[in-house]
Chain A
């Protein structure tokens, strides 16, 4: 059967499959290959990133890793931020939706919520490093699945309810193709399960006054 299909017009089908395979391979590389992630960065910033020290945790960092600005998570550029935060999974097996609030100096502050809306976090990330940290904040681990992107390196006014709109608004690119399917979070958004708890608001208030940079 395969012999016949190869003889009679089977090559067209192969081309389609090949294109798809290549597209998937590119998405996978965007998600997982740190070199590819750095290729999206402006050359000057890239030079700064590649000349920075490589480590999983800042040896001079203080406080709980990733949960305070004094001990940020080192990652490789903005796509590295997307890739790292998208890989995080809580102890309950929940991945995160996230967006960037602003920065405190060179440290970016991200607000994150689990896909089921039950847990909220602030995560502090330092993108000026050649590679992503292999460590996770307390209470997190890396997902075993392909970690398609589930957040943004920009501020979302109506986080996370505007996730679908923000995703749709992105121009088509290898990065936009690397995002999770909307269906993964659509039902939760529709059910409006995302509500910031008191502790999270207090955390937000505490860092709010120190945030700088445009929320864009």
Chain B
């Protein structure tokens, strides 16, 4: 077996890439792996290994010849070896206390010499792979104020540890005026080397923890935050360098980022870079215009970094974060969001287009199914509306950020609008064509709730909802009145000692001795009482109530006053008012009606002039020329100026006398009334 020196602790171990039994660590990056192979007896002599071990234990960098490193890098090109490093790393870390799988990224720093505990915060900085860590300044370990000479030296030194070509490119990026600006903008301009190192360390330890200290320029702040997005992971079991982040924290972080990006000033960035360049000796930037292209690139990177973080979340969390961000950024769709948020929403809209289209199709299918089911009645429609509500709510959950953003920009989200109008159309048809008020109201309520952020829809649906509410209220009132009326007119009594007969009245009809008349068919009523006496001694009262249609009549005679009063009251309510109205409408139509000897006209009545000698004479009087009174169980109507001109209509024997009396009394209460039918107005 190969003997090797552990690059972390300097102990000797078996196998260059195997777990070190002394410090329990394995090489994690490709650079570490290459160095480890170089520190093995396959590539180095035993005496060289002893020297390497000694230097590492003294926290010094082992000086490995470049040809040896080149051989190690060549060996690492073997795909099976690369695969096995991954597999072995997993199985070894699973078996040991370490939870950190090896990450094959270019090394940026030499490993710390001491043994570190295996907590997430103690993952070597070299394993953290973000755009910031891949920046040429980070790769070479130089700071933004180092001069050209220092950069070249650093590139040569680092070439011993990491890929030579990579070092050369980093050197070229930092020393060429054409590419240096891009590297500077992607680094931490305006930040001192000490503070830059602190920021990277904090980013590595807890990217979403403590806020970045005051005084860090906006661009540097944004670059650190964007790197944090690269480390974000929605998975709770995420292992470093990835960090688990909750939806709430991520939403907050995105908002902070967007605010910071909004405040980015090219002039300030130029000032910071020129201050650093004054120290490093590179020529100053003359105009902020030079920054324009690089700024566009930065924006694209920021957007991608945030999208990357969002895409590592569960779909539901992603929607939650987007909704929170847009809701806060637009104050619920009332204010314009920042440019970055708008761009994020636009990306989100593009990515969710397919899902929304497919859900929209489902909504349309359910609407079509509902229309087909309408013929089977509300029972068939209700479950479909339930389903529709569910699908529409799902749809809305996804579309919510876009709707809010559209509202803030003063436009309607067209797919929302189209969908809303499809549902509204169904709601209208359900009511107008099928009188399904409750289902129509449900749909309108759903639209109000779901499309509140689509102003056009919201307004229309608001009006619909008001109209439906009014109709619903009216119907409820009518229903209540009908119910009340039903109670008012219902009466039932069993009459008779041995043989019972039913006297009843209800919405179904009025009945005596199995003679039953539907209420609508009753066209005549009469009632009255006759007191009887023998030799002046009262022997009782007989109460008569009769009702019937144009063909027959049921006549009840009884002795109970209570029954009489109760039943006539109900009878009046049930049919009296209707018959009164029908009389007035008949008169209004110009027809005449006969009551006993009297003939009723709309504008008066024809009475009989009683003559002692000769036959009686008919006299037509206007309503202003008659008077009324009651006498001997009759309702009397007479001419005001001639007491012989009158008619007497028996309450108990003449049909509808009570109703006529009521009509004339009502008319007399209206001074100057010309026509009886004016009572209808």
Contacts and interface: CB of A to CB of B under 8 A. Distances in A.
Interface of A: 63-64, 67-70, 121-122, 138, 197-203, 205-210
Given A63-B86, A201-B2, A207-B88, 8 more contacts: A67-B80, A122-B84, A198-B74, A198-B75, A202-B37, A203-B78, A209-B18, A210-B88
A202 B83 contact: no
Interface in B74-133: 74-81, 83-88, 91
Contacts of A199: 75-78, 80-81
Q: Size range of the interface on B? A: 20 to 34
A198 B1 contact: no
B43 interface: yes
Contacts of B598: none
Interface stretch (B9-17, B145-153, B173-181, B313-321): B9-17
B661 interface: no
Interface string B301-329: 00000000000000000000000000000
Contact of A202 (B17, B79, B87, B91): B17
A64 B80 contact: yes
A64 B83 contact: yes
Contacts of B72: 198
Contact of B14 (A121, A205, A210): A205
Closest 5 CB pairs of A and B: A205-B15, A199-B78, A199-B75, A198-B75, A67-B80
B2 A202 contact: yes
Given A201-B42, A205-B1, A207-B88, A63 B17 contact: no
Given A198-B37, A206-B85, A138 B79 contact: yes
Contacts of B18: 205-206, 209
29 contacts: A63-B86, A64-B80, A64-B83, A67-B84, A68-B83, A68-B87, A69-B87, A121-B80, A197-B75, A198-B43, A198-B72, A198-B74, A198-B75, A199-B77, A200-B78, A202-B2, A202-B15, A202-B16, A203-B78, A203-B80, A203-B81, A205-B2, A205-B15, A205-B17, A206-B15, A206-B85, A208-B1, A208-B14, A210-B91
B358 interface: no
Contacts of B71: 198
Nearest to B77: A199
B84 A203 contact: yes
A206 B84 contact: yes
A67 B17 contact: no
Interface string B52-72: 000000000000000000011
A70 B88 CA distance: 10
B81 A208 contact: no
B21 to A, nearest CB: 10
A201 B37 CA distance: 10
Contacts of B78: 199-200, 203
Residue among B37, B79, B83 with the most chain A CB within 10 A? B83
A112 to B, nearest CB: 11
Nearest to B80: A67
B81 A63 contact: no
A201 B71 CA distance: 13
A198 B36 CA distance: 12
A207 B80 CA distance: 12
Nearest to B16: A202
Interface in B1-55: 1-2, 14-18, 37, 42-43
B75 A208 contact: no
A172 to B, nearest CB: 36
Contacts of A206: 15, 17-18, 81, 84-85, 88
A63 B72 CA distance: 23
B84 A207 contact: yes
A47 B91 CA distance: 31
A3 B18 CA distance: 74
Contacts of A201: 2, 42
Contacts of A209: 14-15, 18
Given A202-B2, A202-B16, A205-B15, A70 B81 contact: no
Contacts of B76: 199
Contacts of B37: 198, 202
A198 B616 CA distance: 145
Nearest to B2: A205
Nearest to B4: A205
B80 A122 contact: yes
A63 B83 CA distance: 7
Contacts of A67: 79-80, 83-84
A67 B78 CA distance: 12
B429 to A, nearest CB: 51
A205 B79 CA distance: 16
Contacts of B83: 63-64, 67-68
Interface string B426-449: 000000000000000000000000
B282 to A, nearest CB: 42
Contacts of A122: 80, 84
Residue among A63, A197, A201 with the most chain B CB within 10 A? A201
A67 B85 CA distance: 12
Given A198-B42, A205-B2, A64 B79 contact: yes
B154 to A, nearest CB: 29
A205 B16 contact: yes
Nearest to B76: A199
Contacts of A207: 84, 88
A44 B54 CA distance: 56
A3 B581 CA distance: 131
B490 to A, nearest CB: 75
A202 B85 CA distance: 9
A70 B87 CA distance: 8
A207 B87 CA distance: 10
A39 B85 CA distance: 38
A46 to B, nearest CB: 31
B75 A202 contact: yes
A198 B15 CA distance: 11
Interface in B335-379: none
B216 to A, nearest CB: 42
Residue among B15, B16, B17, B85 with the most chain A CB within 10 A? B15
Contacts of B81: 199, 202-203, 206
A120 B87 CA distance: 19
A203 B2 CA distance: 11
